[in-house]
């Protein structure tokens, strides 16, 4: 599967850069269709690989000390092009200075990326997305808030279920398998944390998690 993903990435890069030479408009239109379909397949492969890697009991947390505020700023910056392309805006509300926590940085970053990706996909054009955080001596919290189309109570209650996708025109138009938030929940649970979502149709969605600032070591969990 990893080889397929690498091949798809190279294929999409060739199409995106038009490395096949000078082509007539009709050929370029056909290549654009191939590029879109290739990107869709690439996203599905990424979701499947990520899910297989975070199935409970099949991976361990790689704990390290890192600056959580710096990570959040970098994530917000990395999502700016995607947000702008969707006709949205993003604000990163992070205090100055640094906040050192002990956790699996890659997995926490992946969780926040999944939350931001969901907001970008489903909030709708013109939505305002905000990445915010809070903390105390023992806990670290992160929230992604948007003022987009929101979810009904059924969709919110099932948001973390494996393969679940709400039924509305927006979700039907978006690529995905319904794995992102389930993956996020697994990662946060492995960190002895909690993740939740609160949403109102027509007003927006707030999804967030809290984890201990120092994650319990796996060899001490028994």
Binned at pLDDT 50, 70 and 90, residue 34 comes out as low
CATH class for the region spanning 64-220: alpha beta
**Collapsing DSSP states into helix, strand and coil, what is residue 194?**
strand
**Contacts of residue 90, Cβ cutoff 8 Å, sequence gap at least 6:** 76, 79, 80, 83, 116, 128, 129, 130, 131
CA distances from 68 to 36, 63, 109, 135, 146 (A): 34, 13, 9, 10, 21
More confident residue, 189 or 56: 189
Helix axes 2-16, 25-53, angle to 10 degrees: 150
pLDDT of 221 reads 43
Q: What percent of the chain has pLDDT over 90?
A: 42
Quote the CA–CA distance of 108 and 189 in Å, as a whole number.
11
CA distances from 183 to 55, 156, 164, 195, 210 (A): 8, 16, 12, 11, 15
Residues 141-174 pLDDT 10s: 999 999 999 988 998 999 888 766 666 555 544 5
* Strands 128-135 vs 89-93: parallel, antiparallel or unpaired: parallel
pLDDT of 219 reads 40
Residues 176-188 pLDDT 10s: 556 788 889 989 9
pLDDT of 110 reads 85
Residue 163 and residue 177 in contact, taking contact as beta carbons nearer than 8 Å: yes
More confident residue, 53 or 119: 119
Query: How do the domains of the chain map onto residue ranges?
Result: 2-53, 64-220
pLDDT of 176 reads 54
pLDDT of 106 reads 86
> Tokens in use for 104?
């699996």
What integer is the mean pLDDT of 54-82?
Answer: 85
DSSP state of 214: B
Lowest-confidence pick of 92-96, 155-159, 217-221: 217-221
Q: What percent of the chain has pLDDT over 70?
A: 64
Residue 194 and residue 145 in contact, taking contact as beta carbons nearer than 8 Å: no
Quote the CA–CA distance of 108 and 75 in Å, as a whole number.
11
Please choose, from the candidates 210, 160, 211, the residue with its C-alpha nearest in 3D space to the C-alpha of residue 181.
160
Residue 129 burial class via C-beta count within 10 angstroms: exposed 0-12, middle 13-18, buried 19 and up: buried
């Amino acid at each position: 599967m990893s080889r397929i993903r690498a091949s798809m990435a190279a294929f999409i890069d060739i199409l995106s850069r038009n490395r096949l030479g000078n082509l007539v408009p009709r050929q370029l239109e056909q290549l654009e269709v191939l590029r879109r379909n290739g990107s869709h397949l690439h996203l599905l492969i990424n979701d499947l690989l990520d899910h297989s890697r975070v199935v409970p009991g099949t991976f361990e947390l790689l704990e390290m000390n890192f600056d959580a505020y710096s990570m959040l700023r970098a994530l917000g910056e990395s999502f700016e092009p995607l947000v702008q392309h969707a006709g949205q805006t993003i604000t990163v509300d992070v205090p100055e200075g640094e906040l050192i926590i002990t956790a699996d940085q890659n997995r926490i970053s992946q969780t926040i990326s999944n939350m931001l990706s969901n907001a970008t996909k489903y909030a709708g054009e013109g939505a305002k997305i905000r990445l915010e955080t809070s903390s105390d001596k023992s806990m670290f919290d992160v929230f992604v808030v948007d003022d987009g189309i929101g979810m009904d109570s059924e969709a919110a209650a099932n948001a973390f279920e494996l393969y679940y996708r709400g039924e509305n025109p927006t979700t039907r138009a978006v690529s995905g398998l319904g794995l992102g938030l389930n993956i996020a929940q697994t990662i946060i649970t492995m960190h002895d944390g909690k993740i939740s979502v609160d949403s109102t149709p027509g007003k927006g969605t707030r999804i967030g998690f809290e984890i201990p600032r120092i994650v319990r070591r796996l060899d001490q969990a028994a």
